[in-house]
Amino acid sequence: MTIRRIAALINPSARHGLGAGAAETALGALRAHGLDVTEMIGRDATHAQELAHSAARSDHDAVVVIGGDGSIRLALVAVRGTGTSIGLMPAGTGNDHARALGIPIDDPVAAAAIIGAGHQRSIDLAQITLADGSNSVFGTVAATGLDALVTERANMLSRPKGQLRYPIAAVAEIAKLKPFHYRITVDGTTIERDLVLASAGNTRSYGGGMHITPDAIIDDGLLDLTLVLSGSRLRLLTLFPTVYSGKHIHRPEVEQLRGRKIVLECEPAAPIYADGDRVGMLPATIETLPGAVTFLVPRNPSKESRAQT
């Protein structure tokens, strides 16, 4: 695919206000690569969504997101069903879409070159439907229970910047955590568990490289579900560091499932986050949308992204 004209969707609030400088660097890299760039700067999430819909239905060759996973989720909604590809210039806190697709998170020149090369890859999305019938899509991981509460707390922290917010938030939430009683249905089979979290992954990681669903494959038409059984706070504190490597799945308090359609219910009601943004409260139904969108990706993917091919 030949890429010449792109619509650049910019989130200046990415990285808690550090996104403006990253956006300037990204735009410079895109133009240096010879691309004709139309800047679209969202005042807020609603405005950014409107801009993304407009860009996806324009005569641009691609919509390029300059921001993080939350900004990408807006683009996913916009381009679905249009045939328009998404390019990524990572400028967020987590950048887990970029990690999954082998796009450099700290090299805007290389990221711009990937967009200009025009190599495409179709990937799955997942759709969350809440009890009121509202729905939204995501590309990486949907988190409920402890990990959703950690994300919620981390998003409220003004300091420190970046990924260090997550372990700080995790320690604070584990200190006061009470288990949730879950009723989980995967492709028609129902189980009940007392859990601290249940996370459904279309990709391996969330929160900037925490491999919560380390065996997830981005284009296999399935979701991986990681469950962490209720246990002592000390066990949770020792489990948390192992999530970065994915080794937590070998611990006895962790259970994994896989399926196309997952229904999550719990008491007390728990929040659900997707791609780092709050979606609502459980209960929720999560199901795959195979090959729903196309991304511009490296022709020779990294080791991690090859593992998800």
Catalytic residues, by residue number, are 277
| Tokens standing for residue 49 | 């969504």
CA angle 236, 151, 246 (to 5 degrees): 50
Contact 4, 61 (CB under 8 A): yes
User: How far apart are the C-alpha atoms of 222 and 200, rounded to whole Å?
Assistant: 10
Helix axes 146-156, 165-175, angle to 10 degrees: 120
Contact 220, 202 (CB under 8 A): no
